[in-house]
C-alpha cells in the first residue's frame, strides 16, 4: 500500500470513527444554510406576473422551514395585497407581526449553531425596514377596507417601529404620509396634524394637498394662527370645500435591490461573509396626473425602499460585525482543537467551516423599489383622472361616480392598477 492509499485510508477511518459525527453535523448545517426552494419558486412566478401560481406554490406554508416562516407570511401578504384580496392579505401580515412579537428574544441554541455554520440557521426576523413595512401594507389594506380604526392602530404600531430605529426609519416619507392619512381617516385629528407637520418638515416642500390637510386640521383643532399660515400657502380653495372628493394613489414601482453575500478573506483558510444590498435597480418614478385634462397641483410623497433597506442593514453593522468575529474565532478554535487530536480531521473540519461561511441574504424580495403617495383633489362633475408613469402606459381612472366628501384608494404596481 503506497503513501497516498494509506493517507486516504486514514482520512476514511478518522471520519468514520473519532470525529465522524462532527463532520456529519457540519454537513447537515451546510444543507440547512440555503434558501427555501418554495419561496424562490413563488417569487419567480410572481415576478413573471403569475400571482396565482405563486400563491399556489406557497400553499399553506407546510413546505417552508420554520426559520423562514416570517418570509412566507410577508411574500403571501404582499401578493394578496396586489391581487386585491386585502382581507386575506391583512391576515397574513398580522400573522407576520404576531410572529415578530412572539419571537422577540434570542435563542441560545440557534446562536450556538450559527457559530458553527452561518446565520441562515437562525429564525429570520426581518430587517428593521421590513418590520416597519408590515404595518405600512396593513395600513393600506385597512384603509381600502374602510376599517379606519384598524388603520390607525397600525399607524401607532408603525410609529413604535420608527421610534425604535428613528435614525433610519424616520426618513420613510411614504409611511409617514400613510400614518397621517390613517389618523385623519379615523377622525383622530390631533394625531393626524402632528404627523402631517412632521411630514412637511421631512419633505421640505409639502405641496398643495398636504398644506390643505394641515389647514383643515388646524382649523378644526382651533389652531387659528397655524390655519392662517397654511391658508396663505395654498394656491386654491382647500380640499374640504363642499363638492370636493379625493382620490389617493399608491404607486409601487420597480424592485427592491438584491441582497448578496460578500466575503473577506482573513487567511488562506479563513473568511468572513457579510450581506450587502446591490445598487438600486430602478430610477425613481416620474409620475404626472391630470384631472379632465388639467394637470393636478398635487405633490408626490415618495420613499426609496432600496435606500431605506440599505440604511437599515448598515445600522446593525456593529452587531453584525461582532457576531461575524465571534463566529470566525469559534470556528478557528474548533478546527485547532480537532487538529490537535487528528490533523486530517482538523483540516477537513476547517474546509467545511470555510465553505459554511455564507452571509444571510434572506429578505422580503417581492417588495417594490419605490413607494409613492399622491392625493388628487377631484371637483364635482369631474369625469376622469389620467396617470402617466415612465414605466407604464397612461391609465385612465373613472371618477364620475365620486360623491362629495368621498375618498377612493387606487393602487398601482408596474403591471397595472388595482382598484381598492
Please, what are the domains in the chain? Answer: 3-419 (1.25.40.10)
First CA to last CA distance, the chain:
77
Q: Share the mean pLDDT of the chain.
A: 80
Mean pLDDT, residues 97-102 taken together: 94
pLDDT at 8 over 50: no
Cα–Cα distance, 264 to 176 (Å, whole number): 38
- Quick: pLDDT tens for 278-306: 988 777 878 888 888 888 877 789 999 99
Q: Which residue has the higher pLDDT, 397 or 77?
A: 77
Pairing outcome for strands 370-378 and 300-304: antiparallel
Between 159 and 323, name the one with better pLDDT: 159
pLDDT in the model for residue 300: 80
- What is the pLDDT, as a whole number, of residue 116? 57
b/e per residue 399-410 (b: at least 16 CB within 10 A): beebeeeebbbb
Task: Calculate what percentage of the chain has a pLDDT beyond 70.
Answer: 73
Q: Return left, alpha or beta for 402; rule: phi > 0 is left, psi -120 to 50 is alpha, else beta.
A: beta
Its pTM stands at: 0.83
- Residue 83: per-residue pLDDT: 92
Cell of 200: 412637511
Higher pLDDT, 198 or 321: 198
339 phi and psi, to 5 degrees? Answer: -65, -30
**Residue 114 phi/psi, 5° resolution?**
-65, -25
207-251 tens-digit pLDDT:
777 888 888 899 899 998 988 888 888 755 444 444 578 899 899
Alpha-carbon gap, residue 65 to 60, rounded angstroms: 12
- Compute the distance between CA of residue 48 and CA of residue 353 in angstroms, rounded to an integer: 37
Contacts 24+ apart (CB under 8 A), 265-273: 266/328, 269/350, 269/351, 269/354, 270/328, 270/331, 270/332, 270/354, 271/354, 271/357, 272/324, 272/325, 272/327, 272/328, 272/357, 273/118, 273/324, 273/357, 273/358, 273/359
Q: For residues 360 and 275, what is the distance between their CA atoms, to the nearest angstrom? A: 6
For Cα atoms 404, 406, 407, give the angle at the middle one, nearest 5 degrees.
145
Q: Average pLDDT of 166-171?
A: 90
Asked if 354 contacts 265 with a C-beta cutoff of 8 angstroms, the reply is no
Confidence band (pLDDT; 50, 70, 90) for 206? confident
The arithmetic mean of pLDDT across residues 254-260, rounded, is 90
Average pLDDT over residues 193-201: 92
Q: Are 349 and 26 contacting, i.e. CB atoms less than 8 angstroms apart?
A: yes
Asked if residue 140 has pLDDT above 80, the reply is yes
Amino acid at each position: 500500500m503506497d503513501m497516498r492509499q494509506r493517507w486516504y485510508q486514514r482520512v476514511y477511518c478518522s471520519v468514520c470513527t473519532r470525529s465522524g459525527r462532527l463532520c456529519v453535523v457540519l454537513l447537515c448545517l451546510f444543507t440547512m444554510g440555503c434558501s427555501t426552494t418554495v419561496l424562490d419558486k413563488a417569487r419567480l412566478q410572481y415576478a413573471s406576473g403569475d400571482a396565482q401560481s405563486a400563491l399556489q406554490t406557497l400553499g399553506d406554508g407546510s413546505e417552508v422551514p420554520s426559520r423562514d416562516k416570517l418570509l412566507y407570511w410577508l411574500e403571501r401578504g404582499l401578493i394578496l395585497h396586489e391581487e386585491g384580496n386585502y382581507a386575506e392579505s391583512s391576515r397574513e401580515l398580522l400573522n407576520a407581526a404576531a410572529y415578530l412579537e412572539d419571537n422577540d428574544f434570542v435563542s441560545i441554541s440557534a446562536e450556538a449553531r450559527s457559530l458553527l455554520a452561518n446565520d441562515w440557521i437562525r429564525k429570520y426576523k426581518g430587517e428593521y425596514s421590513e418590520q416597519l413595512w408590515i404595518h405600512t401594507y396593513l395600513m393600506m389594506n385597512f384603509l381600502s377596507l374602510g376599517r379606519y380604526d384598524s388603520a390607525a392602530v397600525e399607524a401607532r404600531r408603525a410609529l413604535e417601529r420608527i421610534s425604535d430605529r428613528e435614525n433610519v426609519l424616520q426618513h420613510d416619507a411614504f409611511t409617514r404620509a400613510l400614518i397621517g392619512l390613517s389618523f385623519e381617516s379615523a377622525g383622530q385629528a390631533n394625531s393626524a396634524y402632528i404627523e402631517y407637520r412632521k411630514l412637511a418638515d421631512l419633505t421640505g416642500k409639502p405641496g398643495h394637498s398636504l398644506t390643505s390637510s394641515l389647514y383643515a386640521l388646524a382649523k378644526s383643532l382651533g389652531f387659528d394662527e397655524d390655519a392662517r399660515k397654511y391658508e396663505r400657502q395654498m394656491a386654491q380653495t382647500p380640499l374640504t370645500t363642499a363638492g370636493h372628493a379625493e382620490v389617493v394613489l399608491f404607486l409601487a414601482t420597480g424592485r427592491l435591490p438584491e441582497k448578496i453575500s460578500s466575503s473577506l478573506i482573513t487567511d488562506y483558510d479563513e473568511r468572513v461573509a457579510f450581506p450587502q444590498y446591490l445598487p438600486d435597480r430602478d430610477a425613481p418614478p416620474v409620475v404626472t396626473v391630470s384631472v379632465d385634462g388639467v394637470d393636478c397641483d398635487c405633490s408626490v410623497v415618495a420613499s426609496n425602499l432600496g435606500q431605506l433597506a440599505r440604511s437599515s442593514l448598515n445600522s446593525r453593522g456593529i452587531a453584525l460585525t461582532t457576531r461575524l468575529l465571534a463566529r470566525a474565532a469559534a470556528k478557528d478554535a474548533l478546527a485547532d482543537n480537532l487538529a490537535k487530536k487528528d490533523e486530517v480531521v482538523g483540516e477537513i473540519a476547517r474546509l467545511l467551516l470555510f465553505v459554511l461561511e455564507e452571509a444571510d441574504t434572506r429578505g422580503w424580495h417581492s417588495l417594490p423599489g419605490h413607494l409613492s403617495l399622491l392625493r388628487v383633489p377631484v371637483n364635482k362633475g369631474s369625469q376622469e383622472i389620467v396617470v402617466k408613469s415612465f414605466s407604464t402606459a397612461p391609465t385612465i381612472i373613472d371618477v364620475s361616480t365620486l360623491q362629495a366628501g368621498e375618498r377612493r384608494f387606487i393602487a398601482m404596481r408596474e403591471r397595472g392598477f388595482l382598484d381598492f
